[in-house]
Amino acid sequence: MSPSPQHGFPDRLLSDEAMIVACRQRDFAQVFRLARRAGIHNAAIARRVGLTVSRVGEVMSGSRTLRDMSVIERVADGLRIPGHMLGLAPRSWESGGLGRADGSAPPAHHPRLPVPSTDVDGVLSAAFGQRCGRSTVHALRSCIQDYWRRDEEHGGAVLRPAMLGHLRYATQLIADDAGPYRPDLHEIAAELAVLIGWTHFDDRQYHQARTYFTEAAHLARSAGDRLLLADVLSCMSLQATYEDRPRDAVAFATAARDCARSHGATPRVTSILALREAYAHACLGDRTATHAQLSQAQKRFSDIRTTDDDPTWAAYFDESKLIADTGIALGRLGEAATAEPLVAEAVRRAAPGNHRTLAFHSFWLARLQLRRGNLDEACRTATAALGPAGAIGSERLVGHFQELRKDLAPHRKEPAVTAFASALQAAFR
């Protein structure tokens, strides 16, 4: 027996502009309030998403937020909110975007703008094909660079639907036979898949991140870009450290190093990969291997020349990043006295608009200061970092600051700790 069409939100509610905006911002207080106005009461919402009625009420009042990805996915599935509306991958019940719970087609949730629907675009594309030239390649590469910049400033999750659109466009151009630009488009598609995977990783949606990283690896191989493949493997190494799989992290990192070394890696790329491998070894507790890779990173960085033909994805890596990542790896090993001044210098050098870098490095600095017994200083550093952290829609950063709050728990009665805890609650409310 198929589920009732009323199992989820009605189409008229899903196509409402206020609901579209609330879902895009993951404002579940507004999502639930709109549902109630449409006649779906708290008890029905709670039953469908696996929450208590009181918890639904707390969310609606704004006293509690939903940040755990498993809960957000339950909301999407229980209320039949299409994945793209919440920045998620298509849900299993969408059946590739065609199947709803009742077997009917999902509604089209298009902004009310005078533009053709995606169906019309598809028909026109099929009729006339899509032409790819040098300007197309340049435009897509420019978009990728802009996405990375905006991810640093504001977080990338809100841009994920646009990234997915560009990925679909690039793969369609490949399917239409882009002629001499086919390798470029494979490379562009791979970089977009890395970007999308990164946004999922940053939201702690590790399964989805792995899916896109794997796709990026296949695309990089199709493009013949072994350096980009090495970058993908190093991203998978970093994710493995967050999933408490340090041996897998080392395996990915060493594979990345071997891949790059045999295909003309520049000193900058080699330094990046050495630091990623150093961190993986540090997570495993291998002091000798960590220091060996840190030395390699320093050595290769000193070999960088302005004439090097670096890939565009490596452009972010400079001396500040070298200093910071060295300090973080040493901090992971427990060498706080050596690590703290390095991370402090990286924080000092961070550009004010680079919110992600500033917040992430400040978290590590606060943790190192705490490990060295400087409680008040650690709280000041952490509290100051909440401003840039709040500007980034990053569940990964939220998780780091929650870890720090747990580390501070034995000192919870200290005024500095109390002030930080209050500021933390306000920043991520």
CA pair distance 113, 134, nearest whole angstrom: 30
State residue 105's pLDDT score: 39
Residues 318-325: what's their mean pLDDT? 96
Look up residue 228 and give its two tokens: 């980009």
Q: What letters, b where the CB count within 10 A reaches 16 and e where it falls short, cover 5-21? A: eeebbbbebbebeebbe
Report which of 321, 73, 313, 359 is spatially closest to residue 194, judged by C-alpha positions. 313
State residue 334's pLDDT score: 95
Look up residue 52 and give its two tokens: 């208590």
Say whether pLDDT at 389 is over 50. yes
Say whether pLDDT at 111 is over 80. no
Q: Are 166 and 123 in contact (CB under 8 A)?
A: no
Of the ranges 182-191, 245-254, 265-274, which one carries the lowest mean pLDDT score? 182-191
Q: Give the number of other Cβ atoms within 10 Å of residue 418's Cβ.
A: 14
Q: Considering Cα of 345, then 349, then 352, then 353, what sign does the dihedral take?
A: negative
Question: Residue 176: what residue type?
Answer: D
Q: Are 187 and 220 in contact (CB under 8 A)?
A: yes
CA pair distance 197, 212, nearest whole angstrom: 5
pLDDT tens digits, one per residue of 147-177: 999 988 888 888 898 999 999 988 888 887 7
Residues 209-234: what's their mean pLDDT? 93
3-state DSSP helix/strand/coil % of the chain, to nearest 5: 75, 0, 25
Long-range CB contacts for residues 389-393, cutoff 8 Å, separation at least 24: 389/355, 389/359, 389/362, 389/363, 389/427, 390/427, 390/428, 391/153, 391/154, 391/155, 391/355, 392/154, 392/155, 392/355, 392/356, 392/359, 393/154, 393/155, 393/157, 393/158
Domain 5-94 is of which CATH architecture?
Orthogonal Bundle (1.10)
State residue 328's pLDDT score: 98
State residue 50's pLDDT score: 85
Q: Work out the mean pLDDT of the chain and round it to a whole number.
A: 86
State residue 26's pLDDT score: 85
Say whether pLDDT at 302 is over 80. yes
Say whether pLDDT at 106 is over 50. no
* Cβ-based neighbours of 319, under 8 Å, separated by 6 or more: 301
Say whether pLDDT at 70 is over 80. no
Say whether pLDDT at 258 is over 50. yes
pLDDT tens digits, one per residue of 331-379: 999 999 999 999 999 999 988 888 899 999 999 999 999 999 999 999 9
pLDDT tens digits, one per residue of 392-423: 878 899 999 999 999 999 999 999 999 999 99
Q: Give the number of other Cβ atoms within 10 Å of residue 118's Cβ.
A: 13
53 pLDDT band (50/70/90 cuts)?
Answer: confident
Q: How many residues does the chain have?
A: 429
Residues 232-255: what's their mean pLDDT? 96
CA pair distance 371, 355, nearest whole angstrom: 24
Say whether pLDDT at 319 is over 90. yes
State residue 98's pLDDT score: 37
State residue 77's pLDDT score: 86
State residue 116's pLDDT score: 43
State residue 7's pLDDT score: 57
Enumerate the domain spans of the chain. Answer: 5-94, 116-224, 226-317, 334-429
**How many Å separate Cα 178 from the centre of its chain?**
30
Q: Give the number of other Cβ atoms within 10 Å of residue 372's Cβ.
A: 14
Say whether pLDDT at 381 is over 80. yes
Q: Are 158 and 209 in contact (CB under 8 A)?
A: no
